[in-house]
């Protein structure tokens, strides 16, 4: 029984790491679909929805069962509670990546990203994927130093997000209102994706140390004055 218990506890961490990998892959593909106006890739990403739901509900089921039947304490309890928090963040990351893919599908055969904004979208995509990969590593290795470094990377994402707003509001923006609205929403999706990746990594800090710093590090939206 004890062995099964520890196998199931370990499975929780592994579920989280695999779900994190899926969320990162989904954002990578969604960004590619958006930049290349690739409809079939966008559809593929959108179809990951059911898989993400299933991974979340499987993880929650294992966590709830462990709580109910094993009454874990101390660090084991923190593993279970963190898993409940972390899968919520990971599912949101997947959902946000799917929003990006839906924007690509909605605009097809056109690209939803006018030329002026493409480098910024590519950079936001790359930053988001990097954060997801780092969160996966933090989940697998419990490397708290890396968890703390991710906060700085999140600041990079915020800066890219500010540059997106600045580009939309500059007199050089000639693509009009519709594409600007699309891009503003896309910028928000990438920025939230990064926030959730950092939040997931912070939950690992709680898991290891018991220090509950809160999972939501979302900075306020600070669009440039204009």
Q: Binding residues for its own copies, per CB under 8 A?
A: 53, 56-57, 60-61, 64, 67-68, 71, 73-74, 77, 81, 84-85, 88, 91-92, 95, 98-99, 102-103, 106, 165, 168-169, 173, 176-178, 180-182, 184-185, 188, 212, 214-216, 218, 220-223, 225-226
Q: Which is nearer to its own copies, 51 or 106 (CB)?
A: 106
Smaller CB separation from its own copies, 103 or 121: 103
CB of 99 to its own copies, least distance (A): 5
- Toward its own copies, which CB reaches closer, 110 or 141? 110
Q: How far is the CB of 207 from its own copies (least distance, A)?
A: 12
User: Whose Cβ is closer to its own copies: residue 165's or residue 190's?
Assistant: 165
Minimum distance from residue 210 beta carbon to its own copies (Å): 9
Query: What gap in Å lies between CA 155 and CA 63, rounded to an integer?
Result: 32
| Contact by Cβ (8 Å): 108, 39 | yes
CB-nearer residue toward its own copies: 81 or 144: 81
Q: What is the DSSP string of 98-153?
A: HHHHHHHHHHTTS-SS-GGGHHHHHHHHHHHHHHHHHHHHHHHH--HHHHHHHHHH
Q: How far is the CB of 203 from its own copies (least distance, A)?
A: 11
Query: Are the C-beta atoms of 160 and 104 separated by less than 8 Å?
Result: no
Q: How far is the CB of 89 from its own copies (least distance, A)?
A: 10
Interatomic CA distance for residues 203 and 200, integer angstroms: 5
Number of Cβ within a 10 Å radius of residue 37: 17
Residue 24: which of 84, 96, 81 has the closest Cα?
A: 96
Do 125 and 191 contact (CB within 8 A), yes or no? no
Q: Quick one: 64 or 151, whose CB is closer to its own copies?
A: 64
> Tell me, what DSSP letter sits at residue 179?
H
Query: What does the alpha-carbon distance between residue 124 and residue 194 come to, in Å, rounded to a whole number?
Result: 9
Q: How far is the CB of 225 from its own copies (least distance, A)?
A: 6
């Amino acid at each position: 029984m004890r062995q099964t218990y520890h196998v199931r506890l370990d499975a929780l961490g592994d579920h989280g790491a695999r779900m994190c990998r899926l969320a990162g892959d989904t954002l990578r593909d969604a960004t590619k679909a958006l930049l290349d106006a690739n409809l079939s890739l966008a559809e593929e990403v959108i179809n990951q929805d059911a898989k993400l739901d299933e991974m979340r509900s499987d993880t929650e089921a294992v966590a709830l069962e462990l709580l109910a039947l094993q009454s874990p304490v101390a660090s084991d309890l923190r593993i279970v509670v963190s898993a409940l928090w972390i899968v919520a963040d990971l599912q949101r990351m997947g959902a946000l990546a799917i929003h990006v893919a839906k924007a690509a599908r909605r605009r097809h055969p056109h690209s939803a990203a006018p030329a002026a904004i493409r480098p910024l979208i590519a950079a936001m995509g790359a930053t988001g994927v990097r954060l997801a990969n780092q969160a996966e590593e933090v989940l697998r290795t419990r490397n708290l130093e890396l968890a703390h470094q991710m906060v700085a990377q999140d600041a990079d994402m915020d800066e890219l997000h500010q540059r997106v707003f600045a580009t939309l509001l500059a007199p050089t923006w000639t693509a009009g209102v519709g594409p600007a609205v699309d891009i503003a929403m896309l910028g928000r999706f990438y920025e939230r994706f990064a926030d959730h990746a950092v939040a997931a990594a912070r939950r690992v800090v709680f898991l290891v140390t018991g220090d509950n710093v809160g999972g939501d590090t979302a900075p306020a939206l600070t669009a440039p004055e204009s």
